[in-house]
Amino acid sequence: MAGLKRKESSPPSLSPEIIASHGLSEEEYQKIIKLLGREPNTTELGVFSVMWSEHCSYKSSKSFLKLLPTEGPAVLQGPGENAGIVDIGKGLVAVFKMESHNHPSFIEPYQGAATGVGGILRDIFTMGARPIASLNSLRFGSFDHPRTRYLLSGVVAGIGGYGNCIGVPTVGGELYFDESYNANILVNAFSLGIAKKDRIFKGKAKGAGNSLIYVGAKTGRDGIHGATMASESFSQQKATRRPTVQVGDPFTEKLLLEACLELMEKDFLVGIQDMGAAGLTSSSAEMAGRGGTGVELDLSRVPLREKGMTPYEILLSESQERMLLVVKKGSEEEAKRIFERWDLDAVVVGRVTKDRLFRASFDGGEVVRIPIAALTTEAPVYARPAERPQNHEEIQKLDLSKIDAPKDLGATLKTLLDSPNVASKRWVYRQYDQFVRSNTVVAPGADAAVIRIKGTEMGLALTVDGNSRYCYLDPYVGGILTVAEAARNLACVGARPLGLTDCLNFGSPENPSVMWQFSEVIHGMRDSCVALGVPVVSGNVSFYNETDGVPIYPTPTVGMVGLLPKLERYVTPWFKSAGDLVVLLGRNREELGGSEYLKVVHGLVRGTPPWIDLRLERAVQQCCLKAIERGMIRSAHDISEGGLAVALAECCVVGPEKPLGVKVELPEMMRPDARLFGESQSRIILSIKEKDLGRLKAIAEKEGVPVQILGQVGGSHFVIQPLIQLAVDELKSIWSNGLEKRLQ
Amino acid sequence: MHWGVVVFPGSCDDQDVHDCLNNVLRQKVEFLWHKDKLKGKIDCVVLPGGFSYGDYLRAGAMARFSPIMQGVIDFAQKGGLVLGICNGFQILCESGLLPGALTRNTQLQFVCRQVYLRLEESDTPFTCAGKKGQLLRLPVKHGDGCYYADPATLEKLRKNRQILFRYADSKGKSSESANPNGSLDHIAGVCNEGRNVFGLMPHPEDAGEKILGSEDGLKIFSSIIEACDPKEKKAWLG
């Protein structure tokens, strides 16, 4: 990167090459000149380039994100802060967010994923919450792609390496493989913390004269321009970006976490923000922006890892495990003592000012002087052209009459249970500490994770979901289904949704087809959120997930959090005892478009995703929740990838004990493959005691939900009459080993 | 009785141990800061799980040099009860209070899963509330849990009946597949010759309540309570 002469006074004009290498367009550069009233120096150019990067400014997505509903009875903090906050009662709040670390994880999977976890955890404890659970949503290329195993192993080890060491359990997640991600993997990390309602901290720099204190790890040259990298597409040459990936140190972050939480018990902390993307620059500028103030930094005071770092490098470094605090004037020494106890650096590096300027000096000379507004509210916003892709009509065409249903449907079921997208993800979650903090009630492998809130009767349910194939075939419907499935997963464990966070992973926003997908997905998510009453409280957008001009499938992933007022009523997906009745809530339709079956068995990604009636969806969820609340549900499982047959098989085999058999009958209403493997929405498989059938029917009738008795739990076989009869032990073994055997 | 739970920088399960002892078993528990000396009346010291000092060198290798550990070593040598869980077990081996060493899991991956432990000896303060052959269901979660000792040491461990728990399946049989880390002779936990220092890889504190899936972990803590003060026995049995 271009070096900077110290104490420059009137810099020479910057060359077009330097401007372009900072990812700024000519128009954007002219706007900078207009806002400053002069040309920027190189350091200022660097500051603008990161603050105006897509990653930090949301310049292409901002106008769409406004469409999402962000308010609700439980919402205390919506998007725009470090994380969202919902009220869970008893004077407690849940603080949560999901963030992407896609680009770094593709370049260096272990560190990229590890620092993704580190970053999201900082966003949580920055707000005064102790992180108590993490999830992750992962997408890799096809299993046959030569890099997939390497990337998967590295990412999983990195997530575990960081989360295990810092002592936050990873309690759930999702994992998919598809060619669409061969050259752009997705690593979305979710974390949730609990705070007291009256001890919430925000990223605001208030009170002129208050001190800015830098705490945590020293600043090095790592990660410079990470935010800019995340705002560009890959090409074959971009593997040389490796030096921009940071290296994580979970031990330091553990100390930082404990020290910050200790500090937050005191009364002199005014504001706090993590130094994540764009490091010291964005943390200080954003805090001043929210506080309506300015900041003055003395870069000579910043603790450095290496000698000879320039102001440019200090401002743009993305070294991990660093925080910026605003403390009341006069309390600096007290704050420092807390960090000293934890053996951490804490240095006053500046102060809050009234002048609404971002100012930085180095060795006594001013090197940056930019109005805060120019970096925040005045950052460019684009209404990028959006256009439906030309092939869209074509990919939605699906002529089922040309596709024969397999003769041996049992073999097809086995193929699906064995496929990496359906098979058990045990190989992954066994590498994560799922139990630390002793709150884990339902560990990975269920529809949603359940954790208890110590000292209360309450529990929280957490899930991450996404189906990019649906979004590719119809981004509007895909957006709806993503939110609906997450809410349905919560309903299956007995939790009512409080809010969601999202990661919106897309290709380049400069591509009109991608922008169209983005717009459609947002509209779909909005409609689903409104219908199901789930507000969006935080999230992140990751564009430029494309290589050599080929974008990934549009992949919104949703992390949703729900409340169980009485934790003891939680429900798990597996069958409990022989003799229980198996009941289906919802309606079967002949739908195979976008299904896992079409892809795995016929190699097709075509058609339209399943249809959804949001009123029925809501009713099915309400029915399930009410039945759980009345204590009559033995097991509940959502039907998703692989359809009814796969979901039923999962009910038999996913439990921790010996698998239970089942015998059901499916009336012949449609072609057998659609009956078994179609992915019609708004369906839940329940098991109940026979005596509770009447009560369940009464609830369903009141909610307007169709109920169908499928059969009975029991025996050693998995029987769907007249189509399939297989030993349940065999199914368990296939499902359990599908992923593992491919990785050995 | 009075418990002390050591907090090293990087300890993760310190709070879990505290909560299990305090919230579930109603015990008096105090955190002991790694920079302090061991003082006051403590009946049992617990070294909790986690990644002390980041464990960037070798698990437990740094922690043994911390100020608190000098006190813990003296305390143990005078017959005080010391329980090391996971990272605590590693620290006890590193500091020479327990024989053997904990090496990288043979599958070279961190492992988190539920395991069964077979109780091998019930005549120790850590197992006296249990019966020989009894099975406990507890979680393991570690990267370096493969116990190793040279043949002479192993022989001595067997002879002195210092192997208190072995990994087993749900029927109580030890096997490769029931052993989560490849440890020698399926060893999950050992005590010293004096039977007052005990280390194990699985986490009893994360299996102390029904809602968490198992209460079997209480067997170990309640053994210690029983050993220290028979009068308290009734209180925790409720």
Distance (Å, whole) CA A708 – CA A586: 8
Q: Which two tokens stand for residue B12?
A: 């993760």
Quick check: A440 and B212 CB within 8 A?
yes
Quick check: B212 and A343 CB within 8 A?
no
Distance (Å, whole) CA A304 – CA A341: 21
Distance (Å, whole) CA A445 – CA A426: 8
DSSP line for A481-533: HHHHHHHHHHHHHT-EEEEEEEEEE-S-TTSHHHHHHHHHHHHHHHHHHHHHT
Q: What is the pLDDT of residue A237?
A: 54
Kindly report, residue by residue over A507-519, the tens digit of the pLDDT.
Answer: 999 999 999 999 9
Kindly report, residue by residue over A160-181, the tens digit of the pLDDT.
Answer: 999 999 999 999 999 999 999 9
Question: CB B104: neighbour CB atoms within 10 A?
Answer: 15
Does A433 contact B at CB distance below 8 Å?
Answer: yes
Question: Lowest mean pLDDT: which of A327-336, A662-671, A709-718, B169-178?
Answer: A662-671
Percent of chain A predicted with pLDDT > 90: 89
Q: What is the pLDDT of residue B18?
A: 98
Kindly report, residue by residue over A266-293, the tens digit of the pLDDT.
Answer: 999 999 999 988 899 999 999 999 999 9
Q: Which two tokens stand for residue B109?
A: 């991956």
Distance (Å, whole) CA B111 – CA B180: 7
Q: What is the pLDDT of residue B94?
A: 97
Distance (Å, whole) CA A588 – CA A710: 12
Quick check: A431 and B114 CB within 8 A?
no
Helix (H, G, I), strand (E, B) or coil at A699: helix
Min distance A461 CA to chain B CA atoms (Å): 14
Active site residue A101: yes
Active site residue A717: no
Of A358, A279, A294, the C-alpha closest to A55 is A279
Helix (H, G, I), strand (E, B) or coil at A740: helix
- State mean pLDDT over A37-66: 93
- State mean pLDDT over A147-168: 97
CB contact at 8 A, A40 and A14: yes
Q: Tell whether the model's pLDDT for residue A8 goes beyond 80.
A: no
Quick check: A157 and B109 CB within 8 A?
yes
Q: Using a CB-CB distance cutoff of 8 angstroms, which residues of chain A are in contact with residue B202?
A: none
Q: What is the pLDDT of residue B40?
A: 86
SS3 readout for A250-294: HHHHHHHHHHHHHHCCCCCEEEEEECCCCHHHHHHHHHHHHHCCE
Q: What is the dihedral of CA A468, A472, A476, A479, to 10 degrees?
A: 10
Which carries the bigger pLDDT value, residue A248 or residue A1? A248
Q: Which of residues 705-734 of A touch B (CB under 8 A)?
A: none
> Pick from B109, B112, B114: which is nearest to A433 by CB?
B112
Instruction: Give the nearest chain A residue to B105 (CA atoms).
Output: A431
Q: What is the pLDDT of residue A14?
A: 84
Which residue in B11, B17, B110 has the most chain A C-beta atoms within 10 A of its own C-beta, making it the best mutation to test that interface?
B110
Min distance B1 CA to chain A CA atoms (Å): 23
User: Which residues 6+ apart lie within 8 Å of B5 measured at CB?
Assistant: B14, B17, B18, B21, B29, B30, B31, B32, B45, B46, B48
Kindly report, residue by residue over B192-214, the tens digit of the pLDDT.
Answer: 999 999 999 999 999 999 999 99
- State mean pLDDT over B220-227: 96
Quick check: A165 and B139 CB within 8 A?
no
Distance (Å, whole) CA A222 – CA A229: 13
Quick check: A437 and B49 CB within 8 A?
no
Quick check: A454 and B114 CB within 8 A?
no
Q: Using a CB-CB distance cutoff of 8 angstroms, which residues of chain A are in contact with residue B12?
A: 165-167, 254, 433, 436
Q: Tell whether the model's pLDDT for residue A46 goes beyond 70.
A: yes
Kindly report, residue by residue over B56-110, the tens digit of the pLDDT.
Answer: 989 999 999 999 999 999 999 999 999 999 999 999 999 999 999 999 999 999 9
Instruction: Give the nearest chain A residue to B52 (CA atoms).
Output: A251
Question: Lowest mean pLDDT: which of A85-99, A153-167, B220-234?
Answer: B220-234
Q: What is the pLDDT of residue A226?
A: 66
In the block, residue with structure tokens 């979305």: A188
Q: What is the pLDDT of residue A7?
A: 45
Q: Tell whether the model's pLDDT for residue A370 goes beyond 80.
A: yes
Q: What is the pLDDT of residue B237?
A: 39
Question: pLDDT-based confidence at A55, cuts 50/70/90?
Answer: confident
Length of chain B: 238
Distance (Å, whole) CA A413 – CA A411: 5
Q: What is the pLDDT of residue B238?
A: 33
CB contact at 8 A, A187 and A101: yes
Buried b (16+ CB within 10 A) or exposed e, A46-64: bbbbbbbbbbbbbbbbeeb
Buried b (16+ CB within 10 A) or exposed e, B136-154: bbbbbbbbbbbbbbeeebb
Which residue in B34, B90, B112, B218 has the most chain A C-beta atoms within 10 A of its own C-beta, making it the best mutation to test that interface?
B112
Of A212, A229, A345, the C-alpha closest to A286 is A212
Q: What is the pLDDT of residue A224?
A: 77
Q: Tell whether the model's pLDDT for residue A240 goes beyond 70.
A: no
User: Which residues 6+ apart lie within 8 Å of A249 measured at CB?
Assistant: A217, A320, A321, B54
Does A250 contact B at CB distance below 8 Å?
Answer: yes
Q: What is the pLDDT of residue A276?
A: 81
DSSP line for B125-138: TTTTTS-TT-EEEE
Q: Which of residues 629-658 of A touch B (CB under 8 A)?
A: 656
DSSP line for B202-225: S-GGGSSBGGGTB-TTHHHHHHHH
Distance (Å, whole) CA A505 – CA A186: 8
Distance (Å, whole) CA A142 – CA A658: 32
Quick check: A164 and B56 CB within 8 A?
no
| Helices A475-493 & A614-629 angle (0-180, nearest 10) | 10
Residue pairs between chains A and B whose CB atoms are closer than 8 Å: 90
Kindly report, residue by residue over A580-603, the tens digit of the pLDDT.
Answer: 999 999 999 999 999 999 999 999
Question: CB A149: neighbour CB atoms within 10 A?
Answer: 14
Instruction: Give the nearest chain B residue to A252 (CA atoms).
Output: B54
Query: What phi and psi, each to the nearest 5 degrees, are found at residue A242?
Result: -50, -40
Catalytic position from the list B20, B44, B86, B93: B86
Quick check: B53 and A251 CB within 8 A?
yes
Distance (Å, whole) CA A48 – CA A379: 9
> Pick from B51, B206, B212: which is nearest to A165 by CB?
B51
Catalytic position from the list A22, A55, A103, A637: A55
- Stated as kind and residue range, the H or E segment containing A31 is helix A26-36
Q: What does pLDDT average to over chain A?
A: 94
Kindly report, residue by residue over A292-326, the tens digit of the pLDDT.
Answer: 999 999 999 999 998 999 999 999 998 889 999 99
Question: pLDDT-based confidence at A229, cuts 50/70/90?
Answer: low
Which carries the bigger pLDDT value, residue A80 or residue A288? A288
